[in-house]
Every structure is written in C-alpha cells, then in structure tokens.
Structure 1
Amino acid sequence: MRRFQRGMSYWTVLFGVGLFGLIIKVSATVGPIYLDFYTIDEMLKSKFRETQVDKFELRKFGADLQSQMERNNIRDRKVDDLMVLKREGNLLIVELDYEERRKLMGNLDVVVHFKKSYTSERPDGFTE
C-alpha cells in the first residue's frame, strides 16, 4: 500500500513557498519604482500633447511638472534630479535619465535605470 502513495515532499513544499515569497518580495520592491516611472512618463506625454508646448519657458515648464509630480505623490524627487530640460531653436527637449536603487534583502540591492527622450516635434513627445 505504501508504494502507491505519492505527493510532494517536505523539501518541495518548502522550496515552493520560498520561491513564492521571493517573487512577492521582488515585485513589492520593483513594482513601485516602475509605477513612478509610468506616472512620470504619462505626465510628460500629456504635457507634450498640449498645443502651446513650444511656447513654454523652461522654468515654467519645470515648475508645472514639479507641481504635477507632487499631486501624483512623487514627492521624494525633484525635476532637476530626474530630467534635463533644454531648448534647441523652437523645440523643447526633455531628457529623462535617472536611476533608482532600493534594498532587496541583506546586502543585495536592486538598481533600475530609466532613460527616455521627449521632444515637441512629435505629437506623442517620444523620440527614439
């Protein structure tokens, strides 16, 4: 009768629970980082869809972005830390370039780097 009984061993269950816990820990650490990037990305795309984005002064554009970031609960970063605002002729160019570092466990950190460029030349603001 014993040879017909089958199932997972103690170590298999322990390994499965540990793997599931690791996946939850990594997603809880990395998820908010990507959520903040997605929020910033959508803010910039919506700003570049505005009709008069070419006429914005850089200071006013930066101040408006900063207030939008605070409204969207991104309070630990400043616009100057995340992106470079510049003007080339009539075009407004925003280069988003920053990295985020979070502690995962022990002496293991997660580093996520984001780099994207937006310009007023295209309607969606995105450039390759």
Structure 2
Amino acid sequence: MIYARQTGASFFATLFVVLSVGFFMTVAFKLFTPYWDHKTISSVVKATSEDREELARPLAQIRTNINRKFQINQVALPDRDALKITDQAGILTFHLQYEVRVPMFFNVDAVVKFEETYEGRRP
C-alpha cells in the first residue's frame, strides 16, 4: 500500500493570504465613506432637478434648499464651487464636480473624483 502524504498551506502562504485580505479590506473600508456620501449628494441633486416645485424657485433659494438637505443628511461638499447651478433659457443645469482625498497608509493618499450633470426644465 502506498500512502499519499497530505500537505496543507505553509505558514508563509497563510500569512500572505491573511495580509492580502487585510490590505484590501482596509482599502475598501476607507473608500466606502466617500462613495456613500457621493451617493447621498447625487440623490439630493437628482431629486432637486426632478422636482417641478423646486425648479420654479430662484437659484439662490434652490442652492439654500440643497445645502439644507445636505445638512439634514450629514454630508457636505468639499467647497462651494463643487456644485454649479446655471439657468439658460429655462433649463437649469446642475453640474456636480469634486474630488475627495482619503489618507490610506503613511504618506499615501487615494483621490476619488466625481463628476455628474443633471438638467431640469423650469415649469
């Protein structure tokens, strides 16, 4: 009878797998927040661009209402210029463009860029 010798993963192979999984999980957890915040921000802007009652208001009032909704949802844009609202011939354009810098490890940062445009027609 010939017996086959059973072997398993070595210590170093197991250590490599654990470190790799840990690295990718750390990156995923750090990048989750900017993407989740952007999802909330874009849903607020999209809802505003589809709300006929909101589109009938002056631009300053629309911006104030959007900022109020951001505050309620506990999100913020990096700066005021990240959301530009323009009115051309009764068509409001909401241009959302910004980037978020996330510190990863030591002096390494990840930069996440977002850019979207929504349009709404004044009633």
Report deviation, 1:78: 6.0
Aligned position for 1:46: 47
**In 2 relative to 1, CA 26–78 (structure 1 residues): closer, same or farther, beyond 3 Å?**
closer
* Within-5 A mapping of 1:1-128: 4-75=5-76, 77=77, 80-121=80-121
Secondary structure in 2 matching 1:52: helix
Whether the 8 Å contact between 1:91 and 1:120 is mirrored in structure 2 is yes
Moved over 3 A (4+): none
**In 2 relative to 1, CA 10–3 (structure 1 residues): closer, same or farther, beyond 3 Å?**
farther
**What is the total number of aligned residue pairs between the two structures?**
120
Whether the 8 Å contact between 2:55 and 2:62 is mirrored in structure 1 is no
Superposed CA deviations along residues 68-115 of structure 1, whole A, max 9, x for unmatched, are: 00111114x366242111111111111000000010001211000001
* Distance (Å, rounded) in 1 between the aligned partners of 2:58 and 2:3: 80
* Distance (Å, rounded) in 1 between the aligned partners of 2:9 and 2:3: 15
Secondary structure in 2 matching 1:7: coil
With normalisation by structure 2, the TM-score equals 0.88
**In 2 relative to 1, CA 45–83 (structure 1 residues): closer, same or farther, beyond 3 Å?**
same
Superposed CA deviations along residues 41-62 of structure 1, whole A, max 9, x for unmatched, are: 1111211221234322111111
* Distance (Å, rounded) in 2 between the aligned partners of 1:82 and 1:111: 15
Whether the 8 Å contact between 1:99 and 1:112 is mirrored in structure 2 is yes
With normalisation by structure 1, the TM-score equals 0.85
Gaps of at least 5 residues in structure 1 are 122-128
Report deviation, 1:2: 9.4
